[in-house]
Amino acid sequence: MRIIITGASGRMGQMLIRAVVQAQGAELVGATERAGAPSIGKDAGVMLGLDALGANITDNLDGCAAGDVLIDFTSPEACLNHARFVADHNMAMVIGTTGFDADQQAELDAILQDSPTVVAANYSVGVNLALNLIQQAAQVLNADYDAEIYEAHHKHKVDAPSGTALAMGKALAAGRDVKLDDVAVYSREGITGARESGSIGFSVVRGGNIVGDHKAMFIADEERIEINHFASDRMVFAKGAVRAALWLKAQDAGRYDMQDVLGLK
């Protein structure tokens, strides 16, 4: 599988390159960065202290060799541009970018309607198992159990709540057969009044170099059930994204998620 990685010199980009090198059946054929980035012109492997991979980092996707799939962990605006390239070149796409607003999401869906695409807030196998467990728990633990989602990330993360926290909230809401938008509480300040039954609260921490902590809590007067996931290395996300890219080779056009990749649906 010939893979192109965007945002190649960023935290996730570097991990993705390493994951491609380690994955059987995957080959890095292109890597991009924003115009003016110090890494432009460098071999993607040499940049990481690895053997040369024959893929120099460029600021233009047209400068990459032909690829089968593009993996994107950048920003919503950049991802939309990359998606247009994917659609124009009959490629597949793996998207780990989060923070899209409703209009951007609709535009992304329209651009990629004829492309095999995996979109996931989190590519960790453990997180996706946790999402399944959260939905199952929510089916049993009804509104008598107060539901809260907690997440913590490094100080450089720009969107909140995280895409994974929102995915947990959606799984919890689905288990209760409600829409997250109807029951979510994203902030609390001042005299908020008593907690509304059936609501799903979110709390966010940003600091240091936290890779990603997530927790779903079901809280009753007599007991508390927690489903936790703590990531200690970004490589877990990169490995999952490359796994998704390899899985797409046999898929028809359409939008998939990591639950599909892992056979959890």
> How far is 167 from 171, CA to CA, in rounded Å?
6
Question: Known catalytic residues?
Answer: 153, 157
Q: Which pairs with CB-CB distance under 8 Å and at least 24 residues apart come from 101-110?
A: 101/76, 104/76, 104/77, 104/80, 107/80, 108/79, 108/80, 108/83, 109/255
Side by side, the strands of the sheet bearing 146-153 are 184-185, 200-206, 146-153, 212-219, 224-231
> How far is 85 from 57, CA to CA, in rounded Å?
17
Bridge partner list, 226: 217
Tokens representing 5 are 């990685």
Tokens representing 98 are 């989060």
